[in-house]
Structure 1
Amino acid sequence: MKLTIPLSKDYSFEKTIERVKEFEKATEYEIDAKLWRAIRLSSRAIVVGVCRDQAGQLEIESHDDLSQSEQAELKEIMTHRWSSQVDLTPFYEQVTQHPILSSVLSDRMGFHIVREPDLYECLIRTIISQQLNLSFAGTLINRFIEEFGEKIPHLDRWFSSFPTARRVADLHYEDLTTLQLTQRKAEYIIDLSRAIIEGKLDLSSLQQETDEEIMKRLISFRGIGRWTAECLLMFGYGRSNVLPAADIGLRNALQLLYGSDTRPSEAEVRELAKDWSPYASYVTFYLWDYLTQQKKTNKTTKKVIMNDR
């Protein structure tokens, strides 16, 4: 079964999908020119493939037939996930006037944030990733999904959906530490899952709150600090003006962009970001990608130099 979703006029699916393919290798599979992964609907988990069709729309293919209500839910999830209706024109008009940031923008026109399909998934992925490099975080996330997710056969392979809060709430801490998660993170993940099941933490109900109200509520729970809440605001709730000023990646990117000898402090990042509003999330996302691409360039340059010796 196939569905389509219109994309905003500035949307570059090619640029947007590249970062997903690079950082979501454990859960996203490129097969027959589509990017496939498991998605959980209210009623069940399904396997979904996406691509850009000839009309310039987002084409969504499900591995199974869907009811009308499931089709509507899937469209809502994928519209949110791919930021398909986000018009970046005002953001570009603002950033092109910036003497420094404009250089980051030039190669990233049409590059959109890809959000997590589910708030619970976003929260748990972020907790697993706390204070880890992206590579090892991805390894742990993959182990977690493979061990506790539901398996769905499609295209001659098994796809694993992200575990539900109910499934994780029933686990023991040692079930997670055997995957190489720390005792503390095991406690965070299972205790938060139990809080969700018990109704003490309702992530969906926070949708209507302001960024500050969401932040205050989230960080009242053990295991959710400011950085985790900021990531959930960006990649879960889809808020456009989030500034994770303490994030090491963002600070490294700014040090590189400004040619500084030292990494800026959190306070200095906030000073530099005074004119990023109301698009701090997108400036941050573009700077993360800028840092990633610069690292790749440096690795390539070093390899060429070594080969020339």
Structure 2
Amino acid sequence: MPRFDILRLLGTPPKFDLAHKYVTSPFFRSPFILAAIRLSIAVFTLVTLIVVLVWEATKLNEGGSFFSYFTFLSYIGICSYYWASGTQTLAYALKWRRSGAGVGYPLQRWPRILQALHVVLQSSVVNFPIIVTVVFWSLLSGPDTLSTTFFAYENISVHALNTVFLLIEVFLTNSPPAPWLTLVFNILFLAGYLGVAYITHATQGFYTYSFLNTSVEGAKTAAYIIGILIGEIIVFVLVRGVVVLRERWAVKSGRVMDVGSDVSSDKAASSEGLGDMDDDWEEVRMPDNYAQRSPSKHVDA
């Protein structure tokens, strides 16, 4: 009987990302372009987090509640992911420039648990921003949302551009569809946040989001929570479907190498001639006919 492997179900087989999908794009021949985009987003989100935190702490005296809001927690996730993916892509690009197609990147050599955490984080980044944006602009925004320069900067950055960053990851990269198991983790994250929200009310005396106030909303609170849960499932399925279509288009048009599912067995990977990894960068050997299948042999996501 085959051994149960939860890490494989999270998209991290023993030989991770053989086609380099997490660090390449179907549109940019050079991985340096994708690295620059990701690191630019990483810098912008970090600066935004610092500016908003400092402003709320010094001007609004609300710095103590900053980490109680799901908006900011999910934005921290975006910032963290783009720093991680940006540095991995840059490392890949530097090796790619020296050695050409077929090189690897550091995450492929790291422990599988870190690879799995990267996949789970990526899954949250392509799901939560839509939830945050829809809930804020439909339920929480008001006359003060864009009333000052700071409020406009803050709300556009964390409640609108967050979804733009999601779309960049979905459409401009070769990142594969999120494994179905990551949906369970996303739901657990949302459930865990309910604990944070009610702990905040118990310790600081306010509700982070008005619809969580059971004394005012009553049974509607449960409806809102269930609605967000259903919304997360719908968003996950839709985003995953879009990524599957984008991936099929990229393979069909020769913009990404088709090595099968990333949860395929080692034997399947070896049959494609992609099993050899060097000690330093886990270099991937391309099949003999790959140069003919791709318009540029450097686009080897």
Q: TM-score of the superposition, structure 2-length normalised?
A: 0.28
- Whose Rg is larger? 2
> What is the TM-score normalised by the length of structure 1?
0.28
Which structure shows the bigger proportion of residues in strand conformation?
1
Structure with greater proportional helix content: 2
